[in-house]
Amino acid sequence: MKKIILILFPGLLAALSTFSQNTLSYTEVESHYNNGVELYEKKAYSAARKEFRTYVEQSSSSLNPNKFNIANAEYYSAVCALNTGSMDADIEVHRFVLNHSEHPKAKIIYSDLGDNFFEKGNYEKAIEYLTKAIEHRQDDLSVYELRYKLGVAYYQTKDYVNALKEFNYVKKTVAENAINAAYYAAVINFQNDNFDAALTDLQRVENVNPYKLEVPNWIAQILFKQEKYDELLAYAEPIISNPQGRKIDDICLVTAEVLFFRNDFRKAADYYDRFRELRRGNIDPQVTFRHGFSLYKTEQYRKVVEVLKKIADREDALGQQAAYYLGISALNTGDLNSAMAAFDFARKNNFDIEIQEEAAYNYIKVQLEQGNNEAAINSLKDYVSNYPSGKYIDESNELLSDILFETNDYKQAITYIEGLSRTTSKIDEAYQKLCYAQAVIDYNAEQFDEAIKYFDKALTKPSDRDLIQKSLFWKAEAAFATDKPNVESLYREVMQKGNPVQRNKSLYSLGYLHYNKRDFSGALTYFKDFLDASRDVESQQSREDALLRLADCHLIQKSFSRALGYYEQALRENRTDKDYALFQKGVTLDLMGRTSQANQTFEEFARVYENSRLIDDALFQKGSLQMNDRNYQGAIASFTEMLRKKPRSKLVPDALLKRALAYGNTENYDAAVDDYKTIINRFGQHKTANEALIGLRDILNLTGRSEDFADVADEYQKNNPGSGSAIALQYEAARNLFYNQRYDAAISSLKRFVDNNPSNSNVIEAKFLIAESYYFTEKAKEALPFYKDVIRDGQSQYVTKAAFRAADTQFNDKNYRDAVTDYQNVLSSSQSKRDQVSAWEGLFESYYHLGDYENSIKYCRQAITEGGGMVIGIENKAELFIGKCHLKRRDFTQARQQFEKVIAMDKDVNGAEAKYRIGEILYESGKYEESIKTMQELAQDFGDYIEWYEKAFLLIADNYIGQKDHFMAKATLNSIIENSGNPETVDTAKAKLKTIPKD
């Protein structure tokens, strides 16, 4: 191989070395530039700027600098400085422009930067650079674009003056955004109330997307503000009728406003309706009011209520006006609850005194329509006090006199009228009604002297002839009940002045008056006249009773044939008390000497009327007849059956005595001795006790056991001391404590007597008086054991009353099963029809609460068919409970029919509850509107029954909650809270109020 040898000279070596170093340095410098570009693109502006500055510094000292890249690096460095917010950013940008004025980037750096900041939403910076960009460039299309963006930037920073300047400039050019500039200019001019200029620009863009959807609203508003109303209507109405996708909510609004102020309420209401349909979100309360008022003027009352509810609770003049018109509209729809709530709100605000007075008076009218007369009276008094010269002062006084009659507090109303300095004919009429109503209440409460006083007051204002007649009759009835000496003359006055029904009733009462005086001849005449005069269905119960009394009168007068005829007539025709008629027939036959027929009659009675209250009388009479016929075994059987069926009958001592005699006559001496001893030991104070002692003595003598009699006689003497003995005096003193109403002392003394003398004949009476003392000191539970002792004994005159007290106590304690037992004890111990009906009432209520609906309905029907007229309102109550039983069985159809029947019978408390139950059925069925209407009727027809009145409004609130009508639910509950005097009702209303979501 041939070797080549290179010989390098020193100078050449030096040059090569320098060349190599420059090449290496160049490569390193360029890498900074490239790194900067890469970091810039990644938006790592701080790092990129560092690279660019390093590049510029190193390139400047290079032998062969890349001036173009240096200029680029300075440009990018300046941009990075701006993006990082460097303090010297502006200086760097200006330096670049000064140093490189011919560089392409110098011509666009301001616009680029302006665009960049504009896109980022940094409008302040955008304004700065766009302004500079425009200064450094000639006018052309690109500059128009810059000016448009500059205008937008000014607009975004709320510099509307400069924004308008730019938009006005651009809109006159051929720039792409000229239309957009015109729109912005229109908006600014609109805001500046420069409506002519705004209108010109809007008309330019009216048919351009996307502005054509919005622009009609703007144009309509401008025409409205310019008061060019005819032009507005001509422009707006065709668009509203055919919007073609355009937004027309504001067009509808301004069109409605124009028509409203032109009193064209019909068309205004239509356009307000369209506006409300289209507008989402809040609506100006003033607009809402004008909408509601337009509907009000066109009698679209239901819509008025819907619209004005949105602002009727505002605490300002507008809210007061809205509430007033809402109230009037609700009245016209029959929605008394909404009317009540609205007027209540309006009357409590004094922004407009005239509206306040109108609302106050209308509030009273709604209260009256709802039947809430007591509240209406208070409201009327407030009105008279607040507006002594008010628009409705005369009407208020008239109303007050009218409705005082309807309140329950008749005495207060009477006192109020009696305190007036002068009265009108209407007030006198109300006074008469009030006095009569109070008299009826006192009469039903058996406060007969008070009743007579108020009947007399009713007679002093002879406004109503019917009330005069009623007052005369019931005054006579009250006098009869208290045995007043002038009672007969009062009935004779009724006979002269009363209507036919009252005259007939007077005959019936006069019959009883003479009957009770044992003037049976006079009684017979009146009862006969009554039967001849009364033929109507309403007097059927009295006719049946009079027929029996007529027969009794003939029986007492020993006119047996006539008596027998009337008893048999009663058996044929009467619906009730046939057991009494059959019993009396047997007695009559016996008195006529027709013993066999009498015996057959009593046997028939025992067979047909086994559960009659007279079964003990009938069996006793049967046994007595058998004794008279010396049928001693038959007599023993009859008396034994009587004692088995009615062990607590008051005839027990007599039956035991007769049975003892019958045992003696059949030589069953041990049985006779037992009966005699039972009388002596249990009934020591009964009239038969002495006869029993004699009978016992005779049998003991007859059977050779005379020595036994002394012990029996001593025990008898011990348990039945004479009236002057220490024990008798002790008992009399304890007894007097009770009758002097010193109940605590009576309890202590009587208990001591019972403990010390457990076998004394007065023990049962003492226990009854102990029980009554506890009862009158409101310690019914302590009384109960003593009542039970009296009931178990079953022989005293106190059994029925003790059974009633025990039954009522247990009923009130919800011990319904034991209450049933004692109501049954009432039935078995009393012969009073009134007691029977009251016991049936207790039974049907107790069985209802026990869930025994079959027995409840059974006693309801018995009270209805046999108890008419004996207890006031019993038929209504029984019919109500039949309905309640059906309701518990979920038989809503039967229940509602029954409740409707109760309501038709009378407007009493039973009718009020029946109405409420119908409302409950409707509520549970989701028929909220119907339930509300029913409860409004309850409030109107039964407003005096506060319990059901308040329950009705609570149910109304529930219905509103069910309808999601929170305004009315809240208003109703707040009204209850403000007006109810019942803490339980208020608590219930507050609890319901908390469940309503806040709007």
Q: What is the DSSP string of 164-233?
A: HHHHHHHHTS--TTHHHHHHHHHHHHHHTT-HHHHHHHHHHHTTSTTGGGTHHHHHHHHHHHTT-HHHHH
Tokens coding 790: 């009296």
Rounded to an integer, what distance in angstroms lies between the CA atom of residue 469 and that of residue 504?
13
Closest C-alpha among 808, 747, 754 to residue 781:
808
Please say if the pLDDT value at position 374 is more than 50: yes
8 Å CB contact between 547 and 570:
yes
Would you kindly state where each structural domain of the chain is located, as residue ranges?
Answer: 27-102, 282-407, 931-998
Identify the weakest region by mean pLDDT among 257-261, 317-321, 332-336, 954-958: 332-336
Mean pLDDT within 893-906: 91
8 Å CB contact between 477 and 488:
no
Q: What is the pLDDT of residue 405?
A: 66
Tokens coding 571: 């058996």
At residue 72 the predicted structure's pLDDT band, cuts being 50, 70 and 90, is: confident
Most confident range, picked from 34-38, 45-49, 587-591, 869-873: 587-591
With pLDDT > 90 as the criterion, what percentage of the chain qualifies? 44
Mean pLDDT within 884-898: 93
At residue 758 the predicted structure's pLDDT band, cuts being 50, 70 and 90, is: confident
At residue 22 the predicted structure's pLDDT band, cuts being 50, 70 and 90, is: very low
Please say if the pLDDT value at position 818 is more than 90: yes
Q: Which residues contact 365 (CB under 8 A, 6 or more apart)?
A: none
Q: What is the pLDDT of residue 725?
A: 62
Q: For residues 683 and 16, which has the higher predicted lDDT (pLDDT)? A: 683
Alpha helices of 482-559 — where are they, by DSSP H?
A: 487-497, 500-516, 520-533, 540-556
Rounded to an integer, what distance in angstroms lies between the CA atom of residue 741 and that of residue 735?
10
Identify the weakest region by mean pLDDT among 148-157, 468-477, 730-739, 813-822: 730-739
Mean pLDDT within 273-297: 92
Which DSSP helix (H) or strand (E) runs through 930? Answer: helix 928-941
What's the pLDDT tens digit per position in 531-579?
888 776 567 888 888 999 999 999 999 999 999 999 999 999 888 889 9
Rounded to an integer, what distance in angstroms lies between the CA atom of residue 900 and that of residue 911?
8
Q: Does domain 282-407 have CATH number 3.40.50.450?
A: no
Q: Which residues contact 123 (CB under 8 A, 6 or more apart)?
A: 117, 153, 154, 156, 157
Q: What is the pLDDT of residue 139?
A: 67
Please say if the pLDDT value at position 750 is more than 80: yes
Q: What is the pLDDT of residue 8?
A: 30
Rounded to an integer, what distance in angstroms lies between the CA atom of residue 799 and that of residue 787?
8
Mean pLDDT within 696-708: 85
Q: Which residues contact 34 (CB under 8 A, 6 or more apart)?
A: none
Q: What is the pLDDT of residue 978?
A: 82
CA atoms within 13 A on the CB side of 544: 20
**Mean pLDDT for the chain overall:** 86
Rounded to an integer, what distance in angstroms lies between the CA atom of residue 36 and that of residue 74?
11
SS3 state of residue 594 = coil
Does residue 210 have a cis peptide bond before it, meaning omega lies within 30 degrees of 0? yes
- Amino acid in position 483: D
Mean pLDDT within 758-765: 87
The whole-model pTM stands at 0.53
Tokens coding 6: 């290179």
Rounded to an integer, what distance in angstroms lies between the CA atom of residue 977 and that of residue 972?
9
Rounded to an integer, what distance in angstroms lies between the CA atom of residue 11 and that of residue 957?
114
Mean pLDDT within 790-806: 90
Rounded to an integer, what distance in angstroms lies between the CA atom of residue 188 and that of residue 108?
30
At residue 21 the predicted structure's pLDDT band, cuts being 50, 70 and 90, is: very low
At residue 81 the predicted structure's pLDDT band, cuts being 50, 70 and 90, is: confident
Q: Which residues contact 321 (CB under 8 A, 6 or more apart)?
A: 289, 346, 352, 355
Rounded to an integer, what distance in angstroms lies between the CA atom of residue 539 and that of residue 535?
7
Q: Which residues contact 573 (CB under 8 A, 6 or more apart)?
A: 544, 547
What's the pLDDT tens digit per position in 193-225?
898 888 888 888 888 888 888 888 889 889 998
At residue 9 the predicted structure's pLDDT band, cuts being 50, 70 and 90, is: very low
Q: What is the pLDDT of residue 335?
A: 85
Q: What is the pLDDT of residue 214?
A: 84
Mean pLDDT within 157-175: 89
**148-168 burial, b if ≥16 CB within 10 A, otherwise e?**
bbbbbbbbeeeebebbbbbbb
Q: What is the pLDDT of residue 10?
A: 36
Tokens coding 477: 């009835």
Mean pLDDT within 61-89: 80
At residue 17 the predicted structure's pLDDT band, cuts being 50, 70 and 90, is: very low
Q: What is the pLDDT of residue 824?
A: 92
Q: What is the pLDDT of residue 537?
A: 54
Q: What is the pLDDT of residue 13?
A: 30
What's the pLDDT tens digit per position in 103-129?
767 667 777 778 888 888 999 988 988
Most confident range, picked from 100-104, 364-368, 598-602: 598-602
Q: What is the pLDDT of residue 258?
A: 94
Q: What is the pLDDT of residue 4?
A: 31
At residue 408 the predicted structure's pLDDT band, cuts being 50, 70 and 90, is: low
In Å, what is the CA distance from 24 to each residue of 15, 28, 59, 62?
A: 15, 7, 13, 12
At residue 339 the predicted structure's pLDDT band, cuts being 50, 70 and 90, is: very high
Mean pLDDT within 592-606: 93
Q: What is the DSSP string of 421-482?
A: SS--HHHHHHHHHHHHHHHHHHHHTT-HHHHHHHHHHHHTSTT-HHHHHHHHHHHHHHHHHT
In Å, what is the CA distance from 390 to each residue of 354, 361, 393, 421, 427?
A: 10, 10, 5, 20, 20
At residue 79 the predicted structure's pLDDT band, cuts being 50, 70 and 90, is: confident
